[in-house]
Structure 1
Amino acid sequence: MAYDTFETIQRFWQRFAREELEGLPPDERRRIAAEFEARFGRLTSDAAGDDQTAFADLIGLGAKGALPFGEIAWPRLVADFDAAVVPSQLHAAAELYMIYQYERAGVFRVAEILRRLYRDGRMRIQRGPGARGLYLLEKWQPLRYGPRDRLVAYMRVFNYGKAPRPAGAIVNVNFHYQLVGLMSALAQYFRDLTIGEVIRGGQTLEQRPYGTLATVQRLATDLRYALDRASYGNIVALTQEAGLHLRQLLDLFDTPDIKKAFDANNKWDVVEQVLHRHFGGARELSQRTKMAESGRRVLLWVAGGDFETGDDPQQFNIEAQPAGAHAEAWLAAYRMTDEGRRFPGVTENLRWAVGLPPRDARMTVA
């Protein structure tokens, strides 16, 4: 498509859209404007034609010789950077985050302690399914990726732990800052949405929250990009293997004879009892399991989101509502952990995440 044609289509389409939208009710205007935007994109894409010879035409080496600028094909550049991610890596990163939180909760340490107690005859179980499972625990060990490999994976993808950084590997050094910033943005967005509905007197007036949708989208997109570039290599295979092993351990803790040995009602009572007896307590067990569940859910939402700049706010609200609830739950659990006790609160942290110093942030709010 020549530049003159491109300019003409754009000018006439904008005039046509303005004339058609004038006088329509607000709800219908928003719906039709979004449809116009989508159709305009398809029109310019279909009309672009072949611009493979544009450079030759530009320098005068094409079949028609030197052409005026208005007759040279206009290049149609596609902004697809944010979509250039590998979904399988992002899903693996979400599962790996849950595995990490279970590691911090002490699940893998509990399994090792139970294996030793059974081997040394310090636990009164004999022929039940738990005893059989502990006997087979050596065969249940991951085939290729053991504890050290998990620690290295946590360091690479999340910058968590103290494992050595592999030489030449990309380490996602900003993961925690981006994750807390996204959780704060999601929580603040839906809090402001609720406040906006109360002030306006209902959900249908204005149809826009006070919360900044673009901030949530940008933080989510940046987090997705950073996870994608740090989760290559063996992360997918390691996550699948470690996840299967973790599932087997949780099923083992839930066997009747092991629960009876610790006077427990469920597998988490077993974990708690072992941590109390052999590791001095289980202070963050509840918080870590909730962070595992909610963190994985938000990361899966990030992995599957389109985050188009022109998204309909109402559609975004519907799709992001579950993630927003999990963000609030994650923040509530995080603030009760040792590192989360210094969390300044959703509002202050969100101001910091978008680059506002505290003093400037207070002046902006005032």
Structure 2
Amino acid sequence: MSSLSFETNETLKRLFQRFYREELANLAPEERAAFERQFEQRFQQLLEENGGEPFGFADLIGFGGEGVKPFGDLPYPRVKPDFDAAVIPSQLHAAAELYYIYQHERMKVFEVIDVLRKLFQLGRLRIQQGPGARGLYILEKWRPLRYTRRDRMIAYKRAFNYGQGPTPAGAVVNRNFHYQFVAFMSSMAQYTRDLTISEVIKGSQQIDDRPYGTIASIQRLGTDLRYALDRSSYGNILALTHEIGQYLQTSLDLLEAPDILKGFDANNKWDVIEIVSQRHLNGHAPLSQRSKMAEAGRRALEFIASNDFATSIDIDVFRAEIRPIAAYAEAWIAAYRMTSEGRRFPGVSDQLRWSVGLPARQAMRIPA
């Protein structure tokens, strides 16, 4: 099949637009929504299928077999957009898991395990031959972590710009992660809030047209997060996440051992973490908030990793996908506002206005 010329391509677009307008006008309102997306998809498919034979710069300047052609007869230079898909999913999923690990780092889980190992070695922990004692012996004997605390700090710094870890010379640091992530969570929360309000109070001739929330902010922030995480999570992030994730799971299981629970008169592992942190680590972290941020943040980042944020997505499909994630976003925001760094969070509306370019003072003056 030969390529569509520039002039033919433009004519086809004008004819399709006229056909599109006339045909939709003849359809009943309840049928229009179903057909308009099918028309658009079919037109885009027609243009892509008629890409035709390769046409290079040599053909453009007349070195091809047909010599120099008028501009109107030249093939239309249709370049396929692929930026949004140019990421490595495994890196993004590793970043989601690394975020979960980071929140447990903030809960002092790794420090608590180190304290228990030292207490067991010094004979200050009254356990002998139970599963907890055996687990601590194995950790002490094998020293399973190749990646040290310093390596973890570097990984958090590179992927999220969190912590005070050193930045290796020449490494890419995702300096805007937290701003973009908070804005993404805010945009999802704002969308579902608008959706709920519109379904309750906004009238329409068609019941399906009531929601008016926009998905553009979610798609833009999600795409930016995908790109930034992809370019900062290369190197050893994937291997480190696998190893530290396994070590974290082993550590959490160990803290549930009956003899360790009995040794601290604790009901569960979180009691052990709190007691050890209070006695040996100058106070405990906000476990409730951090645990919820870990769960909800990882789920949101997994959604970002698996979603290409296509502009042409069906709005009904998008709503179905976003509803469960928006619940995690609301939970993350509620927990974040109770942490030391989140107490200055201005609220979903102000945060979203700031993220799309309004100065902070001006955004906060606009009524919600």
Specify the TM-score bucket, using the shorter chain as the normaliser: over 0.9
Larger CA deviation: 60-69 vs 220-229:
60-69
Q: In the alignment, which residue of structure 1 is the partner of 2:251?
A: 249
Q: In the alignment, which residue of structure 1 is the partner of 2:59?
A: 57
Q: Which amino acid aligns with 2:11?
A: T
Give the CA deviation at 1:359: 5.5
Looking at structure 1, the residues matched to 207 and 366 of structure 2 have their Cα atoms a distance apart, in angstroms, of 26
Larger CA deviation: 29-38 vs 108-117:
29-38
Q: Which amino acid aligns with 1:321?
A: R
2:8 equivalent to 1:5: yes
Partner SS for 1:136: helix
Unaligned runs of 5+ in 1: none
Partner SS for 2:58: helix
Partner SS for 1:22: helix
Partner SS for 1:342: coil
Give the CA deviation at 1:206: 5.0
On the 8 A contact 1:140/1:245 being kept in 2, the answer is no
On the 8 A contact 1:51/1:75 being kept in 2, the answer is no
Aligned residues: 365
Q: In the alignment, which residue of structure 2 is the partner of 1:299?
A: 301
Q: In the alignment, which residue of structure 2 is the partner of 1:147?
A: 149
**Of 19, 23, 33, which aligns to 2:22?**
19
On the 8 A contact 1:156/1:169 being kept in 2, the answer is yes
**Of 44, 48, 58, which aligns to 2:47?**
44
On the 8 A contact 1:51/1:74 being kept in 2, the answer is no
Give the CA deviation at 1:143: 4.3
On the 8 A contact 1:97/1:295 being kept in 2, the answer is yes
Q: In the alignment, which residue of structure 2 is the partner of 1:108?
A: 110
Give the CA deviation at 1:253: 0.6
Output one character per residue of 1:91-144: Cα deviation in whole Å (capped at 9) or x when no partner. Answer: 000000000000001100110111111111111110001000000112453442
Q: Identity of counterpart residues, as a percentage?
A: 60
Q: In the alignment, which residue of structure 1 is the partner of 2:358?
A: 356
TM-score (norm 1): 0.95
Looking at structure 2, the residues matched to 280 and 262 of structure 1 have their Cα atoms a distance apart, in angstroms, of 17
**Of 86, 104, 109, which aligns to 1:84?**
86
Larger CA deviation: 26-35 vs 327-336:
26-35
On the 8 A contact 2:104/2:294 being kept in 1, the answer is yes
Output one character per residue of 1:183-214: Cα deviation in whole Å (capped at 9) or x when no partner. Answer: 11111111111111111269963535343210
2:325 equivalent to 1:323: yes
Larger CA deviation: 128-137 vs 67-76:
67-76
Partner SS for 2:26: coil
Larger CA deviation: 167-176 vs 65-74:
65-74
| RMSD (Å), alpha carbons | 1.9
TM-score (norm 2): 0.94
On the 8 A contact 1:60/1:67 being kept in 2, the answer is yes
- Relative distance call for 1:112 and 1:148 in structure 2 (3 A) is same
Q: Which amino acid aligns with 1:179?
A: F
- Relative distance call for 1:28 and 1:290 in structure 2 (3 A) is same
Looking at structure 2, the residues matched to 114 and 248 of structure 1 have their Cα atoms a distance apart, in angstroms, of 14
On the 8 A contact 1:290/1:333 being kept in 2, the answer is yes
Looking at structure 2, the residues matched to 365 and 75 of structure 1 have their Cα atoms a distance apart, in angstroms, of 47
Q: In the alignment, which residue of structure 1 is the partner of 2:97?
A: 95
- What is the correspondence of 1:225-240 to structure 2 with a 5 Å cutoff? 225-240=227-242
Looking at structure 1, the residues matched to 358 and 200 of structure 2 have their Cα atoms a distance apart, in angstroms, of 27
- What is the correspondence of 1:188-199 to structure 2 with a 5 Å cutoff? 188-199=190-201
Give the CA deviation at 1:357: 2.4
- What is the correspondence of 1:137-176 to structure 2 with a 5 Å cutoff? 137-176=139-178
Give the CA deviation at 1:363: 7.2
Looking at structure 2, the residues matched to 3 and 51 of structure 1 have their Cα atoms a distance apart, in angstroms, of 15
Larger CA deviation: 282-291 vs 354-363:
354-363
Q: Which amino acid aligns with 1:110?
A: V
- Relative distance call for 1:341 and 1:90 in structure 2 (3 A) is same
On the 8 A contact 2:126/2:263 being kept in 1, the answer is yes
**Of 17, 29, 34, which aligns to 2:32?**
29
- Relative distance call for 1:139 and 1:220 in structure 2 (3 A) is farther
Output one character per residue of 1:244-266: Cα deviation in whole Å (capped at 9) or x when no partner. Answer: 01011011111111111111222
- Relative distance call for 1:255 and 1:364 in structure 2 (3 A) is closer
- Relative distance call for 1:74 and 1:268 in structure 2 (3 A) is same
- Relative distance call for 1:149 and 1:358 in structure 2 (3 A) is closer
Give the CA deviation at 1:329: 0.5
Unaligned runs of 5+ in 2: none
Give the CA deviation at 1:270: 1.4
On the 8 A contact 2:145/2:244 being kept in 1, the answer is no
Partner SS for 1:341: coil
On the 8 A contact 1:208/1:313 being kept in 2, the answer is no
Looking at structure 1, the residues matched to 88 and 26 of structure 2 have their Cα atoms a distance apart, in angstroms, of 44
- Relative distance call for 1:285 and 1:68 in structure 2 (3 A) is same
On the 8 A contact 1:94/1:299 being kept in 2, the answer is yes
